[in-house]
Amino acid sequence: MVTDDFYRALEDRFRGSRDLIKARQKVYLPFVEAILGHVPKQLLDIGCGRAEWLELLAERGLPASGIDLNEDFVVEAQRAALPVARGEAIEFFSRQADQSYGLVSAFHVVEHLGFEKLLAFLKEAYRVLDNGGALLLETPNPANLLVGACNFYLDPTHERPIPSVLLSFAAEFSGFERVIVVPVNRDFLNNDLELLPSEFAGAGVVNKVVSVVDENFMQAPDYAIIAFKSADNESIALAESLITPTTLPISDKETEDMNTLFARVLEAETERLALQAKVELAATEAAYLKDRVARSEERVREVRLRAEKDLSASKEQAFARASELEAHLQRALVRAATAEDTAHRAQHHVAAMMASTSWRLSSPVRAGGLTIRKIGRTKAAINQLAQLGLLHGAAYVRCRPVLKQRLANVLSRMPRIRAGLIKMAGFDAIQGVVTGAAMPAVASVDRLTARGRKVHADLLSALNARTK
């Protein structure tokens, strides 16, 4: 059997400090004040223990009293001037009149009773409550696996965990028309579980695991039922407001990291789009330039092919024209050589004839006959006769070296006469006389015959055509 002093020491070790328990129980104060405001009757706390709840109510000026089986707890509460008596719940209820209380509370009591006593407790509580009153019961929450499988059994006087559904149903079975289940004391857990932002890859899977851990190990370690005798009680809405959502928060750090990542991704995407636009523009320009290059290459090939064709044709024409001109030139050279040979022979023949004795003896006769024929003609005819005589005289002097030298010496001292003779007879005809030099071979075109000059002109024409 568990002694009173052992149980008190156990409570002090594992229940928590008085301030902690009072902080947890403050959540019910607005609801209790509303109930007792409508029902001006006293509150009865069953199993008040160390009387933290009664002390909290007294601080608010709310009328309340309590009972407990542990003598040590009763004595300590009475020393604190709290209205606490020693007694057992069912027996105490049996001595109370119907509807004598506005609210009955019991914190961590029902799990000590066993189920049969629990049903009896609920029926008696229903009887002693005012029709506008309510029943407040708090007990360990077996939905929290750590509580249901381990922490619940730290108290050796506990009978069995009571699921919230079972306790709620038992209250309804005992006559209460409306029962509200309120998970409590979750905020006092060291629960640092957080959900990942949904934008994270794999966040759905991770968050499911985290939610399962939260629902089974981090649920509220305790729960309370608030049972109303009447379903139209004005304080029901206030009791429902005590239910706070238990959704896990989204990790602020992960959200910040995700937002930072999104900003980087957005920046990278913006940069990628800009680069893609540049690439597309460059590709378009490259395609355009490639097309232009292809067209230019095609034009170059066409021009080159045409040039090669034109050059080939020009070369063929040039070669043909050159061959033709070369052949013509060869023919002209042959004719020129022939004409030049004929001229040289005629010149030598004339020179030989003029040097002959018969030509010299007949010279006066020819001159006189020619003069007689030309008498009465124009001045030009007279000049021609004079020139002819001068030429014959020059030929005569040329054949006599001594006379030719003397005549050249005399004429050198009379330049005007010498110039007149040269002008009349021609330098080539008289140069051997006036200068005394030997007569060179005929090299002037004027000394050629008409056929020779024609051959020379054809030769020049052919050479000019070839050079073009």
Q: Tell if the pTM clears 0.85, that is, is over it.
A: no
Angle at the Cα of 319 from the Cα atoms of 318 and 325, rounded to 5 degrees: 85
Other beta carbons less than 10 A from residue 128's beta carbon: 20
Nearest one of 60, 62, 120, 53 to 89, comparing CA atoms: 120
Angle at the Cα of 115 from the Cα atoms of 51 and 135, rounded to 5 degrees: 45
Q: What is the reported pLDDT for 61?
A: 93
What is the DSSP track for 257-285? HHHHHHHHHHHHHHHHHHHHHHHHHHHHH
Q: How many helices (H) and strands (E) does the chain have?
A: 19, 7
Q: Do residues 112 and 210 make contact, with C-beta atoms less than 8 angstroms apart?
A: no
At residue 250, the 3 state secondary structure works out as strand
At residue 253, the 3 state secondary structure works out as helix
What's the residue count for the chain?
Answer: 468
Q: What is the reported pLDDT for 304?
A: 78
Calpha distance 333→466 (Å, rounded) = 14
For each of the domains in the chain, give its residue range(s) and CATH number, in order of start.
4-250 (3.40.50.150), 346-467 (no CATH)
Cβ neighbors of 51 (< 8 A, separation 6 or more) are 66, 73, 76, 77, 80, 82, 84
Calpha distance 43→189 (Å, rounded) = 29
Q: How far is the first Cα of the chain from the last one, in angstroms, to the nearest whole number?
A: 145
Q: Walk along the chain (468 residues) in steps of 10 and give the mean pLDDT of each run.
A: 82 85 93 93 94 95 95 93 94 95 96 94 97 96 84 86 95 96 78 61 65 60 94 91 73 61 73 83 80 78 76 71 76 76 73 68 60 57 69 74 75 73 64 50 66 82 73
Q: Do residues 118 and 110 make contact, with C-beta atoms less than 8 angstroms apart?
A: yes
Q: What is the reported pLDDT for 462?
A: 79
Nearest one of 257, 224, 222, 260 to 239, comparing CA atoms: 224
Alpha-carbon dihedral angle through residues 41, 42, 45, 46, given to the nearest 10 degrees: -80
Q: What is the reported pLDDT for 110?
A: 95
Burial class (CB in 10 A: 0-12, 13-18, 19+), 43: buried
| Paired tokens of 53 | 């709840």
Calpha distance 339→348 (Å, rounded) = 14
Q: Do residues 94 and 66 make contact, with C-beta atoms less than 8 angstroms apart?
A: no
Q: What is the reported pLDDT for 406?
A: 75
Q: Do residues 69 and 86 make contact, with C-beta atoms less than 8 angstroms apart?
A: yes
Q: Do residues 44 and 125 make contact, with C-beta atoms less than 8 angstroms apart?
A: no
